[in-house]
Amino acid sequence: MSPLDSDIAHLLAGSMVLLSFLLLYQDRMFALLNVFALHAYALACSVAWQAYLQRAPHLFITALIALLFKGVIIPLALRRIVVRLGIHRSIETVVSVGPTMLFGIALVGLSIVVMLPVTQAEGPFVREDLAFALSVLLLGFLMMVTRRNAVSQVIGFMSLENGLVLAASGARGMPLVVEISVGFSVLIAFIVIGIFLFRIRERFDTVDLQALDMSRGEAL
């Protein structure tokens, strides 16, 4: 493959990492959803580029799934949930942005340090792609850990899953069945979490998880 091809792949994967950082400090719900949609578009583009590079038509389907579900359906549905929950105007208290970003940078460094020696047998292209994917995954996890709002946690989880898909598409040869089943499981997780959000709100009048922690034991 030409250097340009791999540069484009890196650009797309790198933009996912960048968007993950954007996700980390968004404190407004709608902005968060928009960035997540962007994240999914970047994923779709990246996977589609991989499909083109690897001459693997089934990866186009993967890209399409990512675009449809994660880029359109899930953000729209989450937007409805947010509106119905009435939290679209609230500002989430994000744990101090500065340290979180620094920690995120450290995580990216870590994933590069880990991935590059481990995958020495592979070509440089796959290696760097995997490093990006691992950073996306870790950043998603970091987001789940630092957020209190359940909706933001869902988004953290989804972006983590985007990292998984990125890794799988770069590593040549994830079967379509696996991809589809992962996609469906994410959808189901989304539905379940969505239902739970409403149930939680019904009981506690909030989706702040701290309220849950206080009354654990008798509820849930």
CA distances from 186 to 5, 87, 210 (A): 30, 23, 25
- What stretches of the chain show up as alpha helix (H) in DSSP? 3-25, 29-54, 57-65, 74-85, 97-118, 124-146, 150-170, 176-204, 209-214
- 126 to 155, contacts with another protein by CB under 8 A? 138, 141-142, 144-145, 148
Q: How far is the CB of 113 from another protein (least distance, A)?
A: 4
Nearer to another protein, 33 or 131 (CB): 131
113 counts as binding another protein under rule CB under 8 A:
yes
- 30 to 69, contacts with another protein by CB under 8 A? none
211 counts as binding another protein under rule CB under 8 A:
no
192 CB neighbour count, 10 Å cutoff: 10
Residue span binding another protein (CB under 8 A) among the ranges 25-33, 53-61, 114-122, 189-197: 114-122
210 counts as binding another protein under rule CB under 8 A:
yes
Among 33, 37, 47, 107, binds another protein (CB under 8 A): 107
Buried b (16+ CB within 10 A) or exposed e, 104-143: beebbeebbeebeeebeebeebbbbbbbbbbbbbbbbbbb
Nearer to another protein, 88 or 148 (CB): 148
The alpha carbon dihedral of 139, 97, 18, 184 has a sign of positive
Among 97, 101, 118, 192, binds another protein (CB under 8 A): 118
Nearer to another protein, 142 or 165 (CB): 142
Cα separation, 89 vs 215, whole angstroms: 26
Q: Which residues bind another protein (CB under 8 A)?
A: 107, 110-111, 113-114, 117-118, 138, 141-142, 144-145, 148, 209-210, 212-213, 216
